[in-house]
A and B are shown apart, each in its own frame.
Chain A
Amino acid sequence: MTNSELNRFKDKAFQGFGIFCTFIGLIVLAIFLINILIDGLGRIDWEFLNNLPSRRAHRAGIYTAWIGTLWILVLSSVVAFPLGIAAGVYLEEYGKKSRIANFLEVNISNLAGVPSIIYGLLGLEIFGRVFGLGGSLLTGALTLALLMLPIIIVTTREAIKAVPRSIRDASFALGASKWQTIWFQVLPASFGGILTGVILALSRAVGEAAPLIVIGALAYVPFAPTSPLDEFTVLPIQIFNWISRPQAAFATNAAAAIIILLLITFILNGIAVYLRNKWQKKVKW
């Protein structure tokens, strides 16, 4: 075998290996999804979405849980979205070389890796006890907003970095101020990327149970929350509770609740993807 033949063989082998690796992930995911769908799909009906918690598996529903999940997602995005983007813009456009920015940068990257239960403890003490918000939706949303912030900040910075220098120069050359350049050129151009970060952050937040249990989110809530100060439960807590019950019928309920949770995630992500695509079409350079 000549040298070039050997290289070509290596090339092919690596390609095969890469395909194999890609498929392992996909196949495992497919197995999980199919399993969950087989277990849970038959359980989903109007009553399941509309019933309150119950000791009888066939009568238990997720009404208060999915409403709680929606509340939490909307509230925490409302908090995390503007804060995260503003912080990203500051770090990338204004505070680029200062000591403080450096210090902040290291800490934000570290925050992205902190286990979620730590955020729960922080939220319990600061929002729950010091601010006196208790185990309310607002405490939960603020805690999850903290969890989402580092992800949004990091992706916002990456997206802003990807905007070509020439766009900025052109804007400045036409006499635009820094603020005008950011607001009318940089942000619109990078918004697609920023939305990707928001998708990632939301998807992470929607599956969290641990920090919410710590701040005092409940398992049994027989009423839908009507204000941000109400107590609440979310789907992951309900799933976690059901999966650890002795009766097998509760496992079916858990599978059904997982499908609904996935559905909520897909819908939210779908909206974000749609917005992103719409935005990216507008951006031409």
Chain B
Amino acid sequence: MLHFKLNNLATAALVLLVAACGPKYNEDADFSLKGDISIDGSSTVYPITEAVAEEYRYEAPNVRTTIGVSGSGGGFKKFSRGEIDISNASRSIKDEEAATAKENGLDFVELSVAYDGLTIVVNPENNWVKDITVAELKKIWEPAAQNKITHWNQVRPEWPNREIHLYGAGVESGTYDYFTEAIVGKSHASRGDYTASEDDNVLVQGVSTDVNALGFFGYAYYEENKAKLKAIPVSDEDESNGKGAILPSLQTIKDGSYAPLSRPLFIYINSAAAQKPAVVKFVDFYFENAAKLSREVGFIPLPDAKYTEEHQKFKTFVAESAGKPAKQDNVAPGNIGH
């Protein structure tokens, strides 16, 4: 009996040992490549970049990649000071952020890596909303709607006289910026009397338990909670990119017919980083794997041609940056400690 137990233990130890023997590196793994890559920015883009960094460990085992989640704005702030190499962003860089980067002698390039479809959702028991137009969404969400548009029938007369409860992204997020830009027409402008959360799971929870709810959040959160939510087709009243109201799906987000709520997600690379071999190889690796990895973590890949185009854009940028001085002396303190 004791013998048997010992045997078992030995097997277990062996299994553990084999498991602990660590990762299997890729065949073409480059052990000679060394260095640090620091990435920060949007928490929306984080899962994609995390997936790429995870796989990159097997490609370049001696490169240390770190990723933070201080938000699109926080990321750009560090990016324009030259404190990080790559910035994850769920919105484009703002003029003043770009100006700071220029002041610090940094050029940069914007590359889209995947799409997200902001999904308009209601409770599954809501049987009156079959579709919605962008104009109606604007009527609901614009700043002037505050305390005025409080019932469904104020939006469309045939909808019932019931209260409307709104759920949406918190004002600090890139998602909020994008949504207000696309729907209200002005970035960062909306009514304030709605349930706001930076955590989309809170919004899912809210909409799925409130019959009178209307909310918006990333497609991945809808996809994971399909049983508890009902997505609403959105019409932009523009027949040129798909007729009528369109539901978000892999296809409609990818081909752009789910307009205007299909949005690209970006990474930004600056000219100092583009001169580091570890970073260049990382971005190359990013584009070779973005299609598969972005789908795996819940986002919608760009069309293949678009990936090739973005990758080409990066290669050109690297070539352009090669001649420029790295301007390391101009970089703000805060990047030591690597």
A24-32, A125-133, A273-281 - the one binding chain B: A125-133
Segment 207-234 of B: residues with Cβ below 8 Å from A = 218, 220-221, 223-225
Q: Known interface pairs A219-B68, A246-B220. Does A230 touch B337 (Cβ–Cβ under 8 Å)? A: yes
Choose one: A54, A216, A251; the contact of B68 (CB below 8 Å).
A216
Find out whether the CB atom of A129 lies under 8 angstroms from the CB atom of B332.
yes
The interface centre, meaning the residue of B69, B83, B337 with most chain A CB atoms within 10 A of its CB, is B337
Find out whether the CB atom of A221 lies under 8 angstroms from the CB atom of B66.
yes
**Cβ distance A141 to chain B, nearest Cβ, rounded Å:** 13
A91-99, A177-185, A237-245 - the one binding chain B: A237-245
Find out whether the CB atom of B296 lies under 8 angstroms from the CB atom of A218.
no
Contact flags B52-92 to A (C-beta < 8 A → 1, else 0): 01100100000011111110000000100001000000000
Which residues on B sit within 8 Å (CB–CB) of A219? 43, 46, 50, 67-69
Find out whether the CB atom of A128 lies under 8 angstroms from the CB atom of B47.
no
Which residues on A sit within 8 Å (CB–CB) of B65? 220, 222
Find out whether the CB atom of A214 lies under 8 angstroms from the CB atom of B50.
no
Find out whether the CB atom of B296 lies under 8 angstroms from the CB atom of A55.
yes
A165 CA to B336 CA in the complex, in Å? 52
Which residues on B sit within 8 Å (CB–CB) of A223? 64
Find out whether the CB atom of A246 lies under 8 angstroms from the CB atom of B337.
no
A95 CA to B47 CA in the complex, in Å? 54
Answer yes or no: B147 CB below 8 A from chain A CBs.
no
Interface residue tally of chain A, by bracket?
Answer: 35 or more
- Looking at chain A's contact residues, the main secondary structure is loop
Find out whether the CB atom of B47 lies under 8 angstroms from the CB atom of A135.
no
Find out whether the CB atom of B337 lies under 8 angstroms from the CB atom of A133.
yes
Answer yes or no: A213 CB below 8 A from chain B CBs.
yes
A54 CA to B199 CA in the complex, in Å? 20
Residue of B nearest to A133 (CB): B337
Answer yes or no: A283 CB below 8 A from chain B CBs.
no
Q: Known interface pairs A222-B57, A241-B43. Does A246 touch B200 (Cβ–Cβ under 8 Å)? A: yes
Which residues on A sit within 8 Å (CB–CB) of B337? 133-136, 138, 229-231
A53 CA to B65 CA in the complex, in Å? 12
Which residues on A sit within 8 Å (CB–CB) of B298? 246-247
Find out whether the CB atom of B67 lies under 8 angstroms from the CB atom of A218.
yes
A213 CA to B172 CA in the complex, in Å? 15
- Looking at chain B's contact residues, the main secondary structure is mixed
Which residues on B sit within 8 Å (CB–CB) of A50? 20
A82 CA to B102 CA in the complex, in Å? 45
**Cβ distance A193 to chain B, nearest Cβ, rounded Å:** 37
A217 CA to B51 CA in the complex, in Å? 19
Segment 314-334 of B: residues with Cβ below 8 Å from A = 332-334
Answer yes or no: B297 CB below 8 A from chain A CBs.
yes
Find out whether the CB atom of B201 lies under 8 angstroms from the CB atom of A244.
yes
Residue of B nearest to A127 (CB): B334
A69 CA to B53 CA in the complex, in Å? 22
A119 CA to B200 CA in the complex, in Å? 27
Find out whether the CB atom of B332 lies under 8 angstroms from the CB atom of A55.
no
Residue of A nearest to B56 (CB): A222
**Cβ distance A130 to chain B, nearest Cβ, rounded Å:** 8
Which residues on A sit within 8 Å (CB–CB) of B218? 246
Find out whether the CB atom of A216 lies under 8 angstroms from the CB atom of B70.
yes
Which residues on B sit within 8 Å (CB–CB) of A220? 46, 49-50, 53, 65-68
Which residues on B sit within 8 Å (CB–CB) of A47? 19
Q: Known interface pairs A216-B40, A219-B67, A222-B57. Does A132 touch B297 (Cβ–Cβ under 8 Å)? A: no
Contact flags A201-219 to B (C-beta < 8 A → 1, else 0): 0000000000001101111
Answer yes or no: A248 CB below 8 A from chain B CBs.
yes
Answer yes or no: A46 CB below 8 A from chain B CBs.
yes
Answer yes or no: B273 CB below 8 A from chain A CBs.
no
Answer yes or no: B293 CB below 8 A from chain A CBs.
yes
Find out whether the CB atom of A55 lies under 8 angstroms from the CB atom of B50.
yes
A219 CA to B49 CA in the complex, in Å? 11
Which residues on A sit within 8 Å (CB–CB) of B136? none
Find out whether the CB atom of B224 lies under 8 angstroms from the CB atom of A55.
no
Q: Known interface pairs A128-B334, A134-B337, A244-B200. Does A213 touch B50 (Cβ–Cβ under 8 Å)? A: no
Residue of A nearest to B201 (CB): A244
Find out whether the CB atom of A55 lies under 8 angstroms from the CB atom of B19.
no
Find out whether the CB atom of A134 lies under 8 angstroms from the CB atom of B70.
no
Contact flags A29-61 to B (C-beta < 8 A → 1, else 0): 000000000000000001100101111000000
Which residues on A sit within 8 Å (CB–CB) of B240? none
Residue of B nearest to A214 (CB): B70
Find out whether the CB atom of B297 lies under 8 angstroms from the CB atom of A55.
yes
A52 CA to B57 CA in the complex, in Å? 11
A85 CA to B3 CA in the complex, in Å? 57
The interface centre, meaning the residue of A136, A213, A245 with most chain B CB atoms within 10 A of its CB, is A245
Which residues on A sit within 8 Å (CB–CB) of B297? 55
Find out whether the CB atom of B334 lies under 8 angstroms from the CB atom of A134.
yes
Find out whether the CB atom of A231 lies under 8 angstroms from the CB atom of B338.
yes
Find out whether the CB atom of A217 lies under 8 angstroms from the CB atom of B16.
no
Find out whether the CB atom of B334 lies under 8 angstroms from the CB atom of A55.
no
Which residues on B sit within 8 Å (CB–CB) of A136? 337
A220 CA to B86 CA in the complex, in Å? 14
Which residues on A sit within 8 Å (CB–CB) of B225? 246
Chosen A-B contacts, 15 in total, with CB atoms closer than 8 Å, are A55-B50, A55-B51, A129-B332, A132-B333, A134-B333, A134-B337, A214-B70, A216-B334, A220-B65, A220-B68, A231-B38, A231-B338, A244-B43, A244-B199, A246-B201
- Give the interface of A toward B (CB within 8 A): 46-47, 50, 52-55, 128-129, 132-136, 138, 213-214, 216-223, 229-231, 237, 241, 243-248, 251
The 3 tightest CB contacts between A and B, nearest first, are A220-B67, A132-B333, A55-B51
